[in-house]
Amino acid sequence: MRRIRVYGEEVLRRDTSEVKNIDEKIVKLIKSMKDTMRKRQGLGLAAPQSGVSKRIFIALGKNDKIITFINPETLSSSDKDDIDMEGCLSFPEIFFSIQRAKKIAIKAYNEKGKEFIIEADGLLARCFQHEMDHLNGKLIIDYATDEEKKYWQERLTKLTKSF
């Protein structure tokens, strides 16, 4: 299990670096991220949320299979979908309305170093975009309206004082 970093912690805003070599340390990180995501019942988890500034994220795919993305790149995305509520393990029990692309295609590597391309739509596409944002230091609060930020202000303040 890894401690999930919460809103206000600097690591969530840092640029992530590319994974040059999928060594034992990276494989161990991914395994611990999978354990953490399962325990916290998340749909996805990015390395920065685990305190590591690397271009890695995992997501719960079809049939509850966890997909590992190392050095992911967005190949294509559709026009923006309807706005939907989105949460994040780094913002416990806080939700913002976010507009995302309905479909997305991503190229990445798995933990064995094998390149793959995956297309997703709906909730899975939303999850992939959310996790890609984490790799670029972007958080769900960046999409929030002033009204939403004001609504959640007390809880957000508690989060930033919790670490």
Instruction: Please identify which of the residues 111, 131, 147, 154 carries the catalytic annotation.
Output: 131
Half-sphere exposure of 123 (CA within 13 A, CB side): 10
Active-site residue, 131 included: yes
For 83, phi and psi rounded to 5 degrees?
Answer: -75, 140
Helix (H, G, I), strand (E, B) or coil at 58: strand
Q: From CA 33, how far away is CA 78, in angstroms rounded?
A: 29
**How many helices, marked H, and strands, marked E, lie in the chain?**
3, 7
Q: Which residues are designated catalytic?
A: 131
